[in-house]
């Protein structure tokens, strides 16, 4: 497939630009005419590989690339995999302190919602845990 790295992972872990999520599942995502196996952060600056494999790996530290772009993000759509998972209040407070709202949902719903909000040119980002 065009743009796909032989390992099925992003080149250098980052693709600059804003792209809709074309597909998800099978342990990864399709966007920008490429595919990526694993979780992703979809930020205003681009899409980057995200080393989170389960919801318990979602922490302020793993979200640090998002926090570095906080001024360009009003809302984070957090896709927690196949199931909606409770997010600790400390994480919500950490994002709120950075001026970022949080909406938690299944990864598929988060990807679809991201596409809609991005098309409306909203200040949105997504953190998407890959689903099988």
In a domain, 2, yes or no: no
Is 76:103 a contact under the CB 8 Å cutoff?
A: yes
Averaged pLDDT of the chain:
91
What's the rounded Cα separation, in Å, for the pair 5 and 53?
A: 20
**Total structural domains within the chain:** 1
Which pair of tokens denotes residue 39? 């979780």
Is 110:124 a contact under the CB 8 Å cutoff?
A: no
Instruction: Work out the widest C-alpha separation in the chain, in whole angstroms.
Output: 41
Query: How much is the pLDDT for 13?
Result: 85
Cα–Cα separations (whole angstroms), residue 104 to 9, 12, 15, 17, 70: 25, 28, 24, 24, 18
Residue 44 domain boundaries: 11-128
Query: How much is the pLDDT for 11?
Result: 56
In a domain, 6, yes or no: no
CATH code for position 101: 3.40.1230.10
Query: How much is the pLDDT for 38?
Result: 96
Confidence check: pLDDT of 26 > 50? yes
């Amino acid at each position: 497939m065009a743009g796909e790295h032989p390992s099925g992972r992003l080149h250098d872990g980052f693709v600059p630009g804003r792209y809709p999520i074309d597909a998800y599942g099978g342990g990864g995502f399709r966007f920008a005419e490429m595919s990526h196996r694993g979780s992703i952060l979809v930020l205003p600056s681009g899409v980057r590989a995200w080393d989170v494999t389960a919801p318990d790996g979602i922490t302020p530290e793993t979200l640090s690339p998002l926090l570095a772009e906080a001024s360009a993000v009003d809302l984070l759509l957090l896709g927690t995999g196949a199931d909606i998972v409770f997010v600790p209040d400390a994480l919500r407070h950490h994002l709120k302190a950075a001026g970022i709202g949080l909406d938690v949902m299944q990864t598929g719903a988060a990807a679809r919602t991201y596409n809609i909000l991005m098309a409306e040119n909203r200040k949105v980002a997504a953190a998407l845990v890959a689903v099988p």
